[in-house]
Amino acid sequence: MGMLDGKSAIITGAGRGLGKEEALAMAREGCNILINDLGASFDGTGKETKIADEVAEEIRNLGVKAAANYDSVTDFDAAKGMIDQAVSELGGLDIIVNNAGILRDRMLFNMAEEEFDAVIAVHLKGTFNMMRHAAAFFRTEIKEGRMKKKSGRIINTASDAGLLGNMGQSNYGAAKAGIAAMTNIASMELKKYATVNCIVPMARTRLTTDATPKMIGVMKRKAESGMDVFHPSNVAPLVVYLASKKARRISGEVFRIAGDKLWVFDGWRTVGRVDNNGESFTPQKIADVMPGLMEKRPEKPSILNTAEEVLE
């Protein structure tokens, strides 16, 4: 008996990499899946329907229902169409996994408006589009008694580029930080209807190799134990768990996963404070206390350093 027997899910960007591994893992646990993938290159250009078709066929061979969808998550109405397609072809909808993404890296002083807009549209607006329509669906189904309270599942995908920062990715990082924040707020708004969580995967995909050459070396390395820690299949078990009833009390959380390591984030929090004894600060007073305040800050980790730690 699988952890997701009889459930139905939409996974965006499920034609390759993380999304495909998530789809296969969920299918093995009994989940019916709508495979959404535009079939585009890592920068969002082009289209190839066979990408989604092939994964859907692979899913059906595991003994569950599967359907393919080739729409862009950036289209608000198309996102609603995915919900309708899942209900029509899979018999319902219980789970949304927002995984679709592109990269158009550029240093800020060279970034074109279109490069910023395109990345924000896929990651941030695309996640909103799917969450918006799924939330409305879950709310209606629960109010009308066709789903149990808080039985919906929404799983978003953020990145260390948004939580730690990464040069050349102000567009991508802003979108991913926004997704983490939106996860937190949505978990509050949907507490009667669905759990909403976010994963921060560290894995070898087109976005971390083809689109980010500086990461290729570390992403291809194995741990001292011989484990291929950055294989995308290592991320999928967390998605399966968060989609299951075993995670029904977990919502509003952000988890990083890589290989055999799992972290939980605590979000923005203060790490130091100074008081001015009941008086307003002056610019000079701030100059006087700032060195002491900054000494209380821990060293900021980097994406590359974090990846190196996973290999230890």
- Show which residues are catalytic: 159, 172, 176
Structure tokens at 270: 């203060």
Bridge partners (DSSP) of residue 261 are: 258
- Residues 6 or more apart whose Cβ sits within 8 Å of residue 114: none
Closest CA to 8 of 30, 37, 41: 30
3-state SS, residue 198: strand
Under a CB-based contact definition with an 8 Å cutoff, are residues 215 and 307 in contact? yes
DSSP H/E element including 200: strand 194-201
Residue 295, CA distances (Å) to 80, 150, 163, 284, 308 in order: 49, 44, 21, 18, 26
Closest CA to 201 of 263, 286, 249, 281: 263
Distance CA 72, CA 173 (A): 20
Q: What is the 3-state secondary structure (H, E, C) of 13-38?
A: CCCCHHHHHHHHHHHHCCCEEEEECC
3-state SS, residue 174: helix
